[in-house]
């Protein structure tokens, strides 16, 4: 007997092939079947749809990724991400303040590092006064009630665009982790609430937790990019932070996960949880809803998902061409993440979604 049929019988349903010929057409015949059972009754009116909804999207579920730049204009559009801007620190503070007033609980901060500050050793990553840390201090001073999340990874700071140190064409795992610890400590000192290792080096979560605890930063949370795939959907993000040109034709497949693998995601999550992660993330989002559901079911941990730049850009581009109702498609996609098990969603549409949710 199949699992589906077995579950159906527990719910009081019978497979169609067990109904005698002609029986289903008889009113009341067949336990749990039409016309006695009419699922549309619970869809007929807005109030009943609200009562029986299995999942709900709330403003509190949203995390807004933001880009900060230094010098130049206060706001600069990202061409491949319609509606997204690189912001000066002052403009960032204003924008995050407005997001906080909408009820958005946290932002994920990404710096646009000038090429002159990038190097093979990523020294700028642990500079206490780098752009990211200055922005974090400004946000915590001006909008203390909004959480600040910062990636721990070297790609914004490396001249080669990789998330780790590079030697003879190989990404160095353990040496990279040492640098990540310095970066995380500098971020924690700047007031960052959540460090988010997105580099996918082995063992980095445990080492980061040890470094933070050893420095008296026990309250700083670790959000592990536990299942981060080597995805084609990251392109617009790399445009936004300026790492695409540095990376060139290289790829990150030697450290980010193979899109073919699902079981491996569970192993990665288990390792990060054992090493002390407070929260875990699946990235990207829509192509990996199956992974998200499996991770949530397996670990019952706070599980986040990232609707990445390529997902966002596709929805916006289709909406601009009139191929989709952009607002409705975006809200549907976010609700889909909740249905698949997400506790929180990183999305560039967070502000627009929050306004829609507030308006009802």
Q: Which domain holds residue 85?
A: 59-359
Q: What is the pLDDT of residue 247?
A: 72
- Domain end, chosen from 52, 71, 92, is at 52
Cβ–Cβ < 8 Å for 66, 96: yes
Residue 190 sits in the same domain as residue 297: yes
Residue 48 sits in the same domain as residue 171: no
The pairing of strands 170-172 and 165-167 is antiparallel
Q: What is the pLDDT of residues 151-204, one digit of tens each?
A: 999 999 999 999 999 999 999 999 999 999 999 999 999 999 999 999 999 999
**Gap between the Cα atoms of 230 and 235, Å rounded:** 11
* Residue 19: other Cβ atoms inside 10 A: 16
Residue 76 sits in the same domain as residue 16: no
**Gap between the Cα atoms of 4 and 10, Å rounded:** 10
Residue 11 sits in the same domain as residue 88: no
DSSP state of 35: T
Residue 108 sits in the same domain as residue 208: yes
Q: What is the pLDDT of residue 4?
A: 45
Structure token digits, residue 99: 């997001």
pTM for the predicted model, two decimal places: 0.90
Total count of domains within the chain = 2
Residue 159 sits in the same domain as residue 197: yes
**Per-residue CA distances from 327 to 1, 102, 159, 343, 350 (Å):** 43, 17, 38, 21, 12
Q: What is the pLDDT of residue 13?
A: 53
Structure token digits, residue 171: 């990404």
* Residue 141: other Cβ atoms inside 10 A: 10
- Domain end, chosen from 52, 68, 83, is at 52
Residue 45 sits in the same domain as residue 155: no
- Domain end, chosen from 36, 52, 68, is at 52
Cβ–Cβ < 8 Å for 163, 172: no
Residue 48 sits in the same domain as residue 64: no
- As a whole-number percent, the residues of the chain with pLDDT over 90 amount to 85
Q: Is 22 left (phi over 0), alpha (psi -120 to 50) or beta?
A: left
Residue 330 sits in the same domain as residue 242: yes
Catalytic residue (choose from 118, 252, 283, 338): 283
Active site residue 252: no
Domain with 211 in it: what CATH number?
3.20.20.70
Residue 163 sits in the same domain as residue 305: yes
Active site residue 228: yes
Q: pLDDT below 50 — which residues of the chain?
A: 1-5, 7-8, 16-17, 19, 21-22, 24-28
Catalytic residue (choose from 228, 252, 296, 338): 228
Residue 125 sits in the same domain as residue 163: yes
Residue 84 sits in the same domain as residue 208: yes
């Amino acid at each position: 007997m199949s699992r589906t049929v077995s579950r159906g019988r527990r719910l009081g349903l019978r497979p169609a092939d067990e109904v005698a010929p002609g029986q289903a057409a008889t009113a009341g015949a067949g336990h749990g079947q039409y016309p006695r059972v009419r699922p549309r009754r619970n869809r007929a009116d807005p109030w009943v749809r609200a009562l029986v909804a299995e999942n709900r999207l709330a403003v509190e579920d949203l995390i807004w990724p933001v880009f900060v730049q230094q010098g130049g204009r206060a706001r600069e559009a990202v061409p491949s991400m319609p509606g997204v801007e690189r912001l000066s620190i002052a403009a960032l503070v204003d924008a995050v303040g407005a997001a906080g007033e909408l009820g958005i609980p946290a932002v994920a901060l990404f710096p646009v590092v000038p090429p002159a500050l990038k190097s093979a050793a990523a020294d700028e990553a642990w500079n206490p006064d780098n752009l990211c840390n200055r922005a974090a201090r400004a946000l915590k001073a001006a909008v203390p009630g909004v959480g600040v999340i910062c990636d721990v990874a070297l790609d914004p700071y490396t001249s080669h665009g990789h998330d780790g140190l590079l030697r003879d064409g190989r990404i160095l795992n353990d040496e990279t982790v040492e640098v990540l610890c310095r970066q995380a400590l500098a971020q924690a000192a700047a007031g960052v609430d959540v460090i988010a290792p997105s580099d996918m080096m082995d063992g980095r979560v445990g080492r980061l937790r040890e470094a933070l605890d050893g420095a008296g930063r026990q309250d700083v949370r670790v959000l592990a990019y536990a299942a981060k795939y080597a995805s084609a959907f990251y392109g617009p993000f790399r445009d936004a932070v300026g790492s695409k040109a540095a990376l060139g034709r290289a790829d990150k497949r030697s450290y980010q996960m193979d899109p073919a693998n699902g079981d491996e995601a569970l192993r990665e999550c288990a390792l990060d949880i054992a090493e002390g992660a407070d929260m875990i993330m699946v990235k990207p989002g829509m192509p990996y809803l199956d992974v998200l559901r499996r991770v949530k079911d397996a670990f019952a941990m706070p599980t986040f998902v990232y609707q990445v730049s390529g997902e966002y850009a596709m929805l916006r581009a289709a909406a601009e061409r009139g191929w989709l109702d952009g607002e409705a498609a975006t809200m549907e996609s976010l609700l889909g993440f909740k249905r698949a098990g997400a506790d929180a969603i990183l999305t560039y549409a967070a502000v627009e979604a929050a306004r829609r949710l507030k308006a009802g």
